[in-house]
Amino acid sequence: MKVLYDLYLKKALDAARTQPKSKQPEYTVDAEGFTQINGDDAGQKFPWSDVRHVGIITTSDGPFFDDVFFIIQFANKNICLTSFQAEDMKLMSYFNILPGFRYESAIEAMGSVDDASFHCWDVSWAQPI
């Protein structure tokens, strides 16, 4: 299962990285979930209750380039955020909404300097919220 998630997370990251910056979706986050604030889907909401998986991918590109990416997987959408975006929106403070979120995996990811993936939460790990 981990191998499948690794491939899935890397595919989501590759898709996000190949989009021009001007076309990349931007989001806000609050206790209800994410809201897309630009592009064709502006105003679309993605509630925490619809999250299926949260992973972090790290690359060896740092420290001069983004090297930590949060992938939040929904049934029909992936949200990919850089560590800078996540910090600006205080994303880590919202993960307590997801029962059983593995903060230790997120902390380990923040210290990684290699190409790696970290699985922080999966819908199968907790009761529905």
Tens of pLDDT, residues 30-86: 999 999 999 888 999 999 999 999 999 999 887 778 889 999 999 889 999 999 999
Tokens of 71: 């992938």
According to DSSP, the residues that pair with 81 across neighbouring strands are 70
**Distance of alpha carbon 106 from the chain centroid:** 11
**What's the pLDDT at 99?**
94
Among the listed residues 113, 10, 125, 1, the one whose alpha carbon sits nearest the alpha carbon of residue 56? 10
93: left (phi over 0), alpha (psi -120 to 50) or beta: alpha
Torsion over CA: 72, 19, 37, 110 (sign): positive
Rounded Cα distance, 58 and 55, in Å:
10
Higher pLDDT, 129 or 95: 95
Nearby residues of 42 by Cβ (< 8 Å), 6 or more positions away: 36
Using the predicted structure, report yes or no on whether residue 112 has a pLDDT greater than 60. Answer: yes
pLDDT grade, residue 12 (50/70/90)?
low
Among the listed residues 69, 74, 96, 97, the one whose alpha carbon sits nearest the alpha carbon of residue 85? 69
